[in-house]
A and B are shown apart, each in its own frame.
Chain A
Amino acid sequence: MRQSFSIGIGGAAGQGVASPGDIFAKVFTRRGLHLNAYNAYQSVIRGGHTFLTMRVGESAIGAVDGHLDLLIPLNQDTADRHLRLLQAGGACLYNADTIHPGTPGEGVALCPLPVSTLADISRNKIAQNTLAIGAALSMMGIGFQSLESILAAQFRSKGSAVIEENVKLARAGYDYASQNFKPFAAPMPLTEKRYAALSGNTAMAMGAAAAGVKFYCAYPMSPATGVLHWMAQHGREAEIMVRQVEDEIGVINMAIGAAHAGVRSMCATSGGGFALMSEGLGLSAQAEIPVVVIDCQRAGPSTGVPTKTEQGDLWQMLGAAFGDYPRVIAAPLDIADCFTLMPEIFNVTDRFQCPGIVLCDLLLSEGRLSVDPAVLDFAPRVDRGELITSNGSGDGEPYKRYKITPSGVSPRVIPGVPGHTHVVSSDEHDEDGVLISDVYTNHAKRRAMMEKRMRKVEGIAAAVAPPQMLGPEDADVTLVGWGSTYGVIQEACELLREQRITANHLPIRWLVPLHGDVILGLLGKARHTIIVENNFSGQFARYLRSETSYVANGHIRKYDGEPFFPEHIVAAVKEQLAGRTKLSVPAHEVMV
């Protein structure tokens, strides 16, 4: 089993669950530790229940799970819900004035903090949070100094008095714990490494900035809003034009306008907003103007569950906008990949002048992962494709925007270059851009234009790396996942190996192009295949079948809004290998 330590912090929305999470993330990544964090929350601003789980370890952590080593309940409700998740050797650190945790499991320590004697709670309502952070650090065997600079940064905007007060509080919690609570058996390790801790939304925004995006626009929608926030915060420094638009229809069309004028352009939304963008996606394809759209999936349909995760938008992406047209769809495998995928997809969409969709989900968008800063490469390869940007860079022939070429790609010119005026069009058009929807309707030209655009499909497939099998070639079970299930399946494979079941893993990153032949080749050698996905109907399984006729032996699906834990997959694999079922739907045991 991976050596890891899990912390759970929970309370009502507005009680300040997020900032202890931020502080812990900094403490751990500065110690050179990996982390993976997931916040289960509700669509409410005050009240309800929010529960942050952070798993820390020396090696990469691909998923959170349902076990805790330290629980910090900020209210009674949290203690009631989650005390039972603590495993032997764990501890519950709580405000003795307000919380009665009840009877914990065997080997679990109760650590009451006398908050009202350690702090002036009439002045500081969230004193318990800071005290608990200090106490937790002491129990984890981490020196206090590391906390001071983090607190200073955290409360910088609130002035030195607030910083001082919080440092004092943290110190009081730290000292109290040192004197009264038993430290955890193994102190938190310290390595030479240093990591960045970031969400998928931040990673996608930064990845796009690295890819040279100059225009970003959006309408706020959970769980995609984090992309807008990073862009809005950093746009001026990064020299990116950032706009909040009246609706998602306006968003995609504005992004297309900017792209047509010649800059890399992007927008982000979730399933409902994407539905409004569909027609615009068709415009991007038909006018051959590249644009990148991020879809951060949440549980649907309709407005669904805004704060819960799902992989339920695949068929919407596959079928978005009417008619046939080339598109690319990629699902980042983890938060680091949220960054690295962006320059790749921009290069493909620029080269092939088509829409590109990044199919992310709440788990990655709002989760937190430690990432080696070297992965966050701000000088990636940029390929803008055949783009005429200045007078004299054309070939001297009369310019035809939609020139018929063997690749299907026609050189694009940015408006403003002399001698290349033309119309780009939503209606079908000829090579010149003249509409062939009215008096010039012409079936031969229509056919030629369809074939020209669709020829790009072949080039796109060649431009993108096919998927690869991870793990031993010969395995008892082959798990197939796409996008955000990468980390949890990788860990499930390790757990299965410990239980003498060999497993390998085929993670799918590019959904379009799919490389069906490569997948068939890999799965053809598999003994028992199981497709793992976070939706009800097996959207990927159905897609794979439609493209390749391949039918997997079994399926593991989850559609309760919460992500898979590694144990869910392990248990499901075992029941399927034993022949008990072909469809497993694990129950989520954490009460969020």
Chain B
Amino acid sequence: MATEIITPNTTTMADLKGRVEPDWCPGCGDFGVLAAVQKALVELQIPQHEVCTISGIGCSSNFPGFIETYGMHTLHGRALPVATGVKMANHGLTVLVTGGDGDGFGIGCGHLVHSMRRNVDLTYIVMDNQIYGLTTGQTSPTSRMAMKTKSTPYGNVENPVNPIALALAAGATYVARGFSADQKHLTELIKKGIEHKGFSLIDVFSPCVTFNHDNTVQWFRPRVKRLEDDPNYDASSLNAAMEKAQIWGEEIPIGRFFELTGQPSLEEMEPVLELGPLVRQSYQIPAEKARRFIEELM
């Protein structure tokens, strides 16, 4: 018996609570990111069934299971192409992509660069803990030089990726960095990212309490400085953003580095989508068109 489901008029935190509790380590930064995403969706009042949360593989990639939206848990590093496919086939959905630094800046880095240059309307939230957690503590693409991990017992000798500079260079139109322990600020960054038309990268410091003893909440807290606190900072300037992206050490900027508005997103560039979301279009080729396709061959 078919039954129409009556949807509530409002989206609440309770609606978005996942059907299982997160199994992250107690104190994991990812709890803060999850709460910030849920708050952002509540504040924007986006119905849960119009959201698709897509992840790769890793601790943070278990995220879609902990929030009650449509979700996809995909392959390691492949969340962005999957999400692009979802968005292309139904651009009416709000598509969030969640994952870790290994997933996004390591195995999936190629897809990241291309997703950014395409300016596809996705909000990509990277829970960056500068370590591989689920595989029990190896160096990651954002691990600092000299960091000792299980795979670099004598200290890491490779330079880390600078996600902000990478995103700016690749053409992302919204580039931000958050800190999981600064919930309110992070929620704002995520809200702006969702509202931004085009690709948004939000790199979030989300410390790993178990395997990264260098970059802890205590380490970050005195260092992070909100760009929003500087009234002279101009987030529409690519050069200013690139300059800020180079700062790392006693002071680490967080906030909205860059936003370019008015740039058409990939969906807006595609005439086929002018007819509405692909999934709602007819899939029957009209006889007249079919005749033309065949006639070309005769």
Give me the interface of A with B, judged by CB distance under 8 Å: 26, 29-30, 194-198, 202, 206, 209-210, 212-215, 217, 234-241, 243, 245-247, 249-251, 253-265, 279-280, 283, 287, 373, 376, 378-379, 382, 391-396, 414-427, 432-435, 438-440
Contacts and interface: CB of A to CB of B under 8 A. Distances in A.
Contacts of A238: 285, 289, 293
A424 B115 CA distance: 22
Contacts of A422: 70-71
B19 A434 contact: yes
Contact of A257 (B50, B65, B83): B83
B111 to A, nearest CB: 5
Task: Identify whether the interface residues of A are mostly helix, strand, loop, or mixed.
Answer: mixed
16 contacts: A213-B283, A241-B89, A253-B78, A254-B85, A257-B84, A257-B86, A258-B85, A258-B86, A260-B86, A261-B86, A263-B89, A376-B294, A396-B2, A396-B3, A421-B49, A438-B62
A202 B297 CA distance: 10
Nearest to B286: A378
Contacts of B272: 235-236, 239-241
A418 B284 CA distance: 26
A382 B19 CA distance: 36
A364 B285 CA distance: 25
A198 B297 contact: yes
Contact of A391 (B5, B70, B78, B281): B5
A250 B111 contact: yes
Given A241-B88, A373-B294, A432-B19, A423 B82 contact: no
B278 A280 contact: no
A216 to B, nearest CB: 11
A448 B71 CA distance: 22
Nearest to A382: B283
A416 B49 contact: yes
A374 to B, nearest CB: 10
A253 B85 contact: yes
Interface string B111-141: 1011000000000000000000000000000
Interface residues of B, number: 64
Contact of A264 (B20, B283, B289): B283
Contacts, number: 226
Contacts of A250: 78, 81, 110-111, 114
A256 B73 CA distance: 12
B72 A423 contact: yes
A265 B19 CA distance: 30
Contacts of A210: 285, 290
B89 A421 contact: no
B68 interface: yes
B93 A415 contact: yes
B298 A373 contact: yes
Contacts of A26: 298
B23 interface: yes
Nearest to B270: A241
Contacts of A423: 64-65, 70-73
B231 interface: no
B85 A425 contact: no
- What 5 pairs across the A-B complex have the smallest Cβ distances? A257-B85, A419-B5, A212-B283, A396-B3, A378-B290
Contacts of A253: 74-75, 78, 81-82, 85
B215 interface: no
Given A239-B281, A392-B4, 13 more contacts: A214-B89, A214-B279, A215-B89, A247-B110, A261-B85, A261-B90, A379-B290, A391-B5, A423-B71, A423-B73, A426-B57, A427-B73, A435-B62
Given A257-B85, A263-B283, A414-B279, A434 B65 contact: yes
B82 A257 contact: yes
A214 B88 CA distance: 10
B298 A416 contact: no
Contacts of A245: 81, 114
A29 to B, nearest CB: 6
A579 B36 CA distance: 78
Contacts of A202: 297
A378 B285 contact: yes
Contact of B85 (A195, A246, A256, A440): A256
A261 B93 contact: yes
Nearest to A397: B3
Contacts of A427: 57, 73
Given A246-B114, A394-B3, A394-B5, A415 B75 contact: no
B100 interface: no
Contacts of B5: 391-392, 394, 418-420
Nearest to A255: B85
B48 A421 contact: yes
A30 B295 CA distance: 11
B297 A419 contact: no
Given A262-B279, A279-B75, A423-B73, A415 B52 contact: yes
